[in-house]
Every structure is written in structure tokens, then in C-alpha cells.
Amino acid sequence: MTATSKTDQKAALDIASWLFNVVTSVGIILVNKALMATYGFSFATTLTGLHFGTTTLLTTFLTWLGYIQPSQLPWPDLLKFVLFANFSIVGMNVSLMWNSVGFYQIAKLSMIPVSCLLEVVLDNVRYSRDTKLSILLVLAGVAVCTVTDVSVNLNGFLAAAIAVWSTALQQYYVHYLQRKYSLGSFNLLAHTAPVQAASLLLVGPFLDYWFTNQRVDAYNFSFVSLFFLILSCSIAVGTNLSQFICIGRFTAVSFQVLGHMKTILVLVLGFTFFGKEGLNLQVVLGMLIAILGMIWYGNASSKPGGKERRSLSIPITKSQKLSLSETNESGEKV
């Protein structure tokens, strides 16, 4: 296979990975919005546990069929990952409960600079001036179209800080574990999903009772709400897998920056299907700024020196290094 055909194949797989993540992520947000807002199933932590439970069933079935090969992930690394991931889920829910929507959005935006900091400190990544400016433009655009009222208290600030750092660490760890242990996306998901499912289903009902003052076992299912619950769990399998695929192929920062395209799509589809309340010139302008920033980031980070890893924090063999150089983001050096 020639170098040109390899480049074209990688570009096609990159686009397919992003589309897979965007479609499943936007889809699950819209389905969950209907499930929670329309049918009153407001048990977010328990729902996430059911998502990982469904993912566990699929990975177990695929392992039994032989499609997922046996692999090793030491318990200390697995537990650290699950700890970061679960604190991220619970922290986000608590942050939304204790803070205004505006501050919640600001907290989500701050994940990008935190992820950048982790890459700079832990992986010795260096960004070009254009890459940094493009990230700032994305942040500004998303802030313009999503941040409205901003109020915060000490408890809310602490919850947001825990959510931001745990989310950034969880996403960094996805890329880190895949590189360190040569794990594919399905392999990593097969290791992490069962532990996340068990822990979230154990504590989820109690946390949801604290959040909503309602018991999940008292919820009265209808045929339609049960259908939306099953649909949500089914789409979540793709969402979980696509996140691991995208972060594995790229980095946590790229996943965060380009991932804000999902924020724009959710806004557009929300205005389309749930009414145009809140749609104004400021929102439209913010969307356009964010999209321009994403295009600029994609161009700037793919240029030589746009985003460069000077050295790796993980010892790798010569053969692993050659393999990594073929799969890393364009313009990122190993």
C-alpha cells in the first residue's frame, strides 16, 4: 500500500470515527431529553449505569464469539480510570444541580484548557500559536451561544472543579491506557464497562434520590417510556465505543475541541424539534464563531509543529513507535 493510499485510508477512518461519535452523541442527548423531560425518568446516574450494563452485555457477547481478543489491564489502572469516570458523571450532575446553567456551561468549556495542561505536563505536548488561538475562538463561540445567566456558590464551584478535572483525567486516561497496553477500543471498553456498570447501579439509585427526591423503583413505566429507555441504552453502546475510538485515534484535546460541534448540532436540532424559544442573533453568531474556530483548529493542528509531542511519558519499543507514528494525529510527532 502506497503512502498516499495509507493517508487517504486514515483520513476516511478519521471522518467515519467522528461521524459515528457525533451521530450517537447527539442521538442519545435527544432521546434522553425526551425520556427525562417528557416522560419524567429523571434518574441520570442510574440511567448511566444501565448504559454501561448494556455495553457490558455486548462486549461479553463479542468476547464469547471471539471478536474481542483477551487482553490485560492491571487492576490499579482500571480502578483509577473508573474512579475518574464515575466522579466525572456524578460531578457533572451535582454541578448542574448546584450551579446556574451559565456557570455549568463555563465549567464544561474549561475542560479544554485543563486537557491542554495535562498534555503539556504529562506528555510534553507543545501547541503552535495558531492552534492556541483556534482553541480560544472555539471557546468564545460556544460561550457566546450557550452561556447566559452566571451565578455560583462555594459548593457548586467545588462540584464543578471535581467534574472538570475528573472528566479531563478520564479522557486523558483513555488515550494513555490504549497506548501503554496496546488496547483497542473494544478491549478497553470490555475492561471498564462492567466495573462502571456495577458501581453506578449500586450507588446510582441513592444519588438520584438525593438529586430528585424520587425513588427509581417507584417510577411507573409506560410502553413508550420503556421504549425510550431501551433506545437510550442501545445508542449508549455506540456513544461509549465511539468516544474510546476517537480519543484513541486523536487526543483528549482534539476530542473536546471538535466535540463542540455536537453542542452546535444539539442546539440546532433542539430548536428544530422542541421549539425556537431562545434562538436569537447572539446564538447564531456564537455558532458561526465556534464552527470557524473548529475549522481553524483542524487546519492548524494538522500542520507540522501545530501540535507536537516532544517526548512520550510511556516507554515504548521501536516497533510500537513505528505503529504509533502511523496512527497518531496528522502533524503530531512521536
Highest mean pLDDT (candidates 7-11, 50-54, 94-98): 50-54
| 89 and 200 Cβ atoms separated by less than 8 Å | yes
pLDDT of 8 over the 60 cut: yes
Please tell me the total number of residues recorded for the chain in this structure: 334
The three cell numbers of residue 115 are 486537557
pLDDT per residue over 134-188, tens digit each?
Answer: 889 888 888 887 766 666 678 888 888 999 999 999 999 998 999 999 998 889 9
* Residues 240-272 pLDDT 10s: 998 888 888 877 787 877 777 777 776 777 667
Q: What is the DSSP letter of 35?
A: I
Helices (H), 99-153: 101-109, 111-123, 129-146
Show the cell assigned to 131.
Answer: 492552534
170 close to 176: Cβ distance less than 8 angstroms:
no
Report the chain's terminal Cα–Cα distance, integer Å: 22
Cβ burial of 63 (10 Å; 0-12, 13-18, 19+) is: middle
- DSSP summary character for residue 99: S
Is the confidence at residue 328, as pLDDT, over 60? no
- Return d(Cα 66, Cα 130) in angstroms, integer: 45
271 vs 189 pLDDT, higher one: 189
What percentage of the chain has pLDDT greater than the value 90? 33
Comparing 128 with 302, the larger pLDDT belongs to: 128
Interatomic CA distance for residues 58 and 239, integer angstroms: 13
